[in-house]
Amino acid sequence: MSPMRDVDHMNDFQLADPVPVQLLREDGTLSEHPQFSSYVEDLEDEVLRELYRHMVVERRFDAEATSLQRQGQLALWVPALGQEAAQIGVIAALRSSDRVFPTYREHAMALYRGISPEELMGTFRATRHSGWDPHTYDFNGYSVVLATQTLHAAGWAMGITQDVATGSLPEGRAADEVVLACLGDGATSQGDAHESMVFASSYQLPVLYFIQNNHWAISVPQKTQSRTPLAHRAAGYGFEGIRVDGNDVLATYAVSRYMTEQIRAGGGPKLVEAVTYRMGAHTTADDPTKYRSREELEEWKSRDPISRYRSWLLTGSKVDQEYVDQVDQEAADLASDLRTAVLAMEPMDLERVFDTVYAEPHRQVEVEKSWLKDYEAGFAEEVDHE
């Protein structure tokens, strides 16, 4: 065979349409999409309401967290304001047993999975590095060194294929599990994101890459990360990528459902680029007025994911004002619970940190832990003597 014809094993995908898939227009009216409308047409009202409820609750939660940080109760907060539809759209399209590998901004997804406000806030009150057991929620701890988590996702997916191949699926795990690898526009520039997509493609792993393109990596605009739509990158690795309006919860849900169906059927990895916008600061330590214009922010406010969806729900009588008020009340209650929980949160003991450096005993850790105990006991004795 001529080397030039050595293409049998190669996948050939068309570049994604640079115009994002949209089902719900910015004015709150529904549009027809030949491929994706069918994924939302038959959704029960209860499902539609849940999408709304989760978005609203997270936004209120997010605002309360920002306020708590301003009041000195959190070391840092990372607002997800504006990205509610992208996050809820994809997480609702997954099964609860599909493993999620988040960055550090996936609060809507985390709450959706049942992670409590207190568990979520351990990271941000700096009382612990990560506040929940990833195995309980099939939701990994937040990843702060960006894109590292995309390789863990690929490795987890290798474990799925290995389990299936050897007939050793653990109890409660599905053979057609999908792994969600979250990343943002900034993280796509990291080498680990590239390596993860290479591994996922080479071994045809069941990974859905979900890029929330929120346009800003702290102060650096997306054009510095990529001169092509990020969804186009998938074709370079030999799998399908789709751009979706990440402020349209219905479109994000529909595209994610389509992609997960392909993956579950053995179609290998897929990529969704959710085009959205970080309406808040990068973190509470950031000042976005230094690098982006008021006009840009206003423009994106007009594409707000929640008001657009609420308008459609109300117009179509999927919900009434009473329901909207009820959700607002639930959100306010959660914010109140968050405040109470945060104020009561104490840092984990340093002893506990010593105890978890290793899973098995380590001489130096034991000696230092013992030394600290004696050292601090010395102070206690001095106090006693006084």
Our CB check for another protein shows the closer of 179 and 251 to be 179
- Per rule CB under 8 A, is residue 76 in the interface with another protein? no
Residue with structure tokens 């089902």? 23
- Per rule CB under 8 A, is residue 198 in the interface with another protein? yes
CB of 103 to another protein, least distance (A): 14
CB of 195 to another protein, least distance (A): 4
Distance CA 105, CA 129 (A): 15
Q: Residue 97, by phi and psi: left (phi above 0), alpha (psi -120 to 50) or beta?
A: alpha
Closest CA to 175 of 185, 186, 162: 162
Q: Which two tokens stand for residue 275?
A: 């085009």
Stretch that binds another protein, among 45-53, 263-271, 321-329, 354-362 (CB under 8 A): 354-362
Our CB check for another protein shows the closer of 346 and 382 to be 346
**Stretch (H or E) spanning 275:** strand 270-275
Distance CA 301, CA 317 (A): 24
CB of 172 to another protein, least distance (A): 13
- Per rule CB under 8 A, is residue 188 in the interface with another protein? no
CB of 281 to another protein, least distance (A): 24
- Per rule CB under 8 A, is residue 321 in the interface with another protein? no
Which member of 174, 220, 357, 372 binds another protein (CB under 8 A)? 357
**Sites for another protein among residues 200-219 (CB under 8 A):** 202
Rg (CA), the chain: 23
Our CB check for another protein shows the closer of 31 and 162 to be 162
Q: How many CB atoms lie within 10 A of CB 354?
A: 17
Closest CA to 88 of 276, 268, 318, 337: 276
Our CB check for another protein shows the closer of 52 and 199 to be 199
Residues 110-149, mask of contacts with another protein (x by CB under 8 A): ------------------xxx--xxx----xx---x--x-
- Per rule CB under 8 A, is residue 195 in the interface with another protein? yes
CB of 364 to another protein, least distance (A): 5
Which member of 9, 223, 363, 385 binds another protein (CB under 8 A)? 363
Residue 172 CA: distances (Å) to CA of 77, 88, 157: 34, 24, 16
- Per rule CB under 8 A, is residue 237 in the interface with another protein? no
Which member of 158, 314, 324, 341 binds another protein (CB under 8 A)? 158
CB of 244 to another protein, least distance (A): 26
Residue with structure tokens 């301003």? 70
Closest CA to 189 of 180, 178, 201, 197: 197
Our CB check for another protein shows the closer of 47 and 357 to be 357
- Per rule CB under 8 A, is residue 317 in the interface with another protein? no
- Per rule CB under 8 A, is residue 95 in the interface with another protein? no
**Sites for another protein among residues 329-348 (CB under 8 A):** 348
Distance CA 326, CA 179 (A): 34
- Per rule CB under 8 A, is residue 351 in the interface with another protein? no
Stretch that binds another protein, among 23-31, 56-64, 196-204, 278-286 (CB under 8 A): 196-204
Give backbone dihedrals phi and psi of 226, rounded to 5 degrees, phi first: -160, 135
Our CB check for another protein shows the closer of 66 and 190 to be 190
What does DSSP say about strands 216-217 and 220-221: parallel, antiparallel, or unpaired?
antiparallel
Angle (nearest 5°) at CA 22 between 184 and 311: 105
Residue with structure tokens 């859905």? 208
From the centroid of its chain, how far is CA 359? 28
Q: Are 206 and 178 in contact (CB under 8 A)?
A: yes
Size of residue set near another protein by CB under 8 A: 47
Closest CA to 326 of 23, 17, 49: 49
CB of 130 to another protein, least distance (A): 5
Closest CA to 67 of 24, 122, 124, 134: 124
Q: Are 264 and 178 in contact (CB under 8 A)?
A: yes
Residues making contact with another protein (CB under 8 A): 128-130, 133-135, 140-141, 145, 148, 150-160, 162-163, 165-166, 168, 170, 191-192, 195-196, 198-199, 202, 348, 352-353, 355-360, 362-365
